Amino acid sequence: MDRVLSGMRPTGKLHLGHLHGVLQNWKELQDKYECFYFVADWHALTTDYKISHEIKNNTIEMVADWLAVGLNPEKSTLFIQSKVKEHAELHLLLSMITPLGWLERNPTYKEMKNEIKNKDINNYGFLGYPVLQTADIIIYHAKYVPVGMDQIPHLELSREIARRFNFIYKTNFFIEPEPILTDFAKIPGIDGRKMSKSYNNAIFISDKGKDLEKKVLNLVTDTHRVRRTDPGDPERCLAYNFHKIYCTENELEMINKECPKAGIGCFDCKKILLKRISEKLAPIQEKREKYISNKNLILDILEEGSNKAKKIAKETVDKVNEIIGLKY
Ligand code: TRP
Ligand code: SF4
């Protein structure tokens, strides 16, 4: 069976953007491939080394969401990067053969250097971010890497580094990983920008009750619809992006019929949405709470996964040392 690998930096609890964009996809891949999903805690450190003490708790909160959504440790290997030290060893060895120019020209790097003002990323580790990411992937000979558009340049670098290793050491040991692009109906944040924790516009998987109600009922609707009697257009309505994901065909049909003739008010329309989102999240939240109330269970799952991952990673690194002539 081909291998799939992907990782996420531990940012704490996840939101609906993660749920529909990433986790759903990871979950489906479990049945078709041998999957490895890991917490990229060292990658978190490249930008957040000053708040390193938050990483562990963020890991637990994030993996609680993974498990609640249906990532299954019986099917997939769930692990923590820093528990498999071989990633660091391979990163070091790959760093020797990675031309500086490749890293300096990396578009993600250039963009982040310009955009991130609130954190210091002027460090060696951050420049090497894609080299570590390459080690993460090729250490398992992963064939496919499910990622979003933003990670495509990184993956291209991984392919180039793998190719260069093979070329320099005259081997075909590493395979070049291919992306599986997660293409999904992009879900906006509650302010219309991309949903992101740092924009403060996210609906979290764990949101419920009054919190969820406030976020959903406050969603901006068609701004042309000032009065209840004004006709609206779902295509101009921010909330409707959510309806499209959560409501039934019948509900969508009704909304498309009634909204343009002011047959339904926005409040009632968003009430329907709220009900559907709550229904969808309820079973996930129930599972999440079970895990969160038993953090040791989460840590045990990750420990076991890390041990499994380590066996493979160690084999790879032993072989790499042999290939480059450092076997004593
Ligand atoms: N860079 C990825 C992100 O920001 C996380 C990541 C680290 C990753 N290592 C990886 C993703 C290996 C896929 C494969 O989300
Ligand atoms: Fe949006 Fe529904 Fe209001 Fe129409 S009725 S503008 S779809 S919230």
C-alpha distances in Å from residue 160, one per residue of 2, 154, 156, 166: 21, 10, 6, 10
Task: List, in order of start, the domains of the chain with CATH numbers.
Answer: 3-187+295-324 (3.40.50.620), 209-288 (1.10.240.10)
Q: State in Å: Cα 262 to ligand 2 middle.
A: 9
Question: CA-to-CA distance for 176 and 155, rounded, in angstroms?
Answer: 9
pLDDT digits (tens, 9 = 90+) for 162-210: 999 999 999 999 999 999 987 665 789 999 998 988 889 999 999 999 9
Ligand 2 atom at minimum distance from 266 CA: 3
Q: State in Å: Cα 245 to ligand 2 middle.
A: 14
**Mean pLDDT, rounded, of the chain:** 95
Q: Specify the higher pLDDT residue, 167 or 47.
A: 167
pLDDT digits (tens, 9 = 90+) for 254-281: 999 999 999 999 999 999 999 999 999 9
Predicted confidence at residue 57, as pLDDT, reads: 97
Ligand 1 atom at minimum distance from 9 CA: 5
C-alpha distances in Å from residue 46, one per residue of 129, 180, 196: 7, 25, 19
How many CA atoms, within 13 angstroms, populate the side-chain half-sphere of residue 209?
2
Nearest CA to ligand 1 atom 6: 7
When pLDDT is cut at 50, 70 and 90, the band that residue 213 belongs to is very high
* Dihedral angle sign, alpha carbons of residues 116, 122, 127, 133: negative
Ligand 1 atom at minimum distance from 146 CA: 13
At CA 168, angle to CA 88 and CA 1, rounded to 5?
60
Nearest CA to ligand 2 atom 7: 234
pLDDT digits (tens, 9 = 90+) for 244-257: 999 999 999 999 99
Q: What is the mean pLDDT of residues 287-295?
A: 97
pLDDT digits (tens, 9 = 90+) for 3-44: 999 999 999 999 999 999 899 999 999 999 999 999 999 999
Helix axes of 152-168 and 86-97: crossing angle, nearest 10 degrees: 70
Question: CA-to-CA distance for 36 and 229, rounded, in angstroms?
Answer: 53
Q: What is the mean pLDDT of residues 136-157?
A: 94
Q: Is 325 exposed, middle or buried (0-12, 13-18, 19+ CB in 10 A)?
A: exposed
Strands (E), the chain: 3-8, 34-39, 77-80, 144-147, 178-181
Find how far residue 263's CA is from the centre of its chain.
40
Q: State in Å: Cα 215 to ligand 2 middle.
A: 15
When pLDDT is cut at 50, 70 and 90, the band that residue 111 belongs to is confident
C-alpha distances in Å from residue 49, one per residue of 41, 54, 118, 121: 10, 10, 13, 10
Predicted confidence at residue 121, as pLDDT, reads: 84
Q: State in Å: Cα 197 to ligand 2 middle.
A: 26
- Asked if pLDDT for residue 107 goes beyond 90, the answer is no
pTM greater than 0.85 (yes/no)? yes
Nearest CA to ligand 1 atom 3: 8
42 lines ligand 2 (CB under 6 A): no
When pLDDT is cut at 50, 70 and 90, the band that residue 118 belongs to is confident
In DSSP terms, which residues pair with 3 in a beta bridge? 34
